[in-house]
Amino acid sequence: MTTIVVVRKDNLVAIAADTQSTFGDTRLGHLHDAQPDKIFSSHGSLFGLCGSAAHDLVLQAILAKTRTLDFSNRVGIFDAFRKLHPKLKEDFFLKPEEEEDDPYESSQITALIANTHGIFGVYSMREVYEYRHYWAIGSGRDFAIGAMRAVYDDPGLSATDIARIGVEVGCEFDVGSSLPMTLQTIELAPTK
């Protein structure tokens, strides 16, 4: 339950997230959560995770112990999560089971990654996508994607503006998301 978005426009990348956590029928908003920020930095990248609240601390801990990971492109990110998967199981007791007929064990993590190389999404079976313009994850994703699509081509709006709109609309219509949001930006590396 969340709304997390990434946007790439011109030479800027933005990642933004709501600040609500949900435990069954109980909502933990930013006024009661001492650390409501769902975005963290590691390996020159910004990460936003949805799913179990445990993922945040687990991924931060495992990334802090694993220095040689590449998050600069699809192949590098795939390889990073492939290397992390056994550690998630052995050191953090990940339960990799989802559906019986799944082709691979699940890492149970859905994440958006923003860095100087672009914007990426990672899904439970270590599928990695690179996005050209924008994307969203979490229970508010459909609202956020629709809102960002509606305004992306407006020349007066930056990546930051579009990310803000995505999270605001996600929070307006999704019961699992609420404001305020956190938002961070990175300039893209010059293309060669």
The Cα 1–Cα 49 span in angstroms is 10
* pLDDT single digits (tens) 94-124: 677 777 777 776 677 899 999 999 999 999 7
The Cα 145–Cα 162 span in angstroms is 10
**In terms of pTM, does the model score above 0.85?**
yes
What pLDDT does residue 106 have? Answer: 65
* pLDDT single digits (tens) 3-29: 999 999 999 999 999 999 888 888 888
Q: Which residue has the higher pLDDT, 42 or 93?
A: 42
Residue 92 has pLDDT above 80, yes or no: no
The Cα 114–Cα 131 span in angstroms is 10
CA angle 89, 52, 23 (to 5 degrees): 145
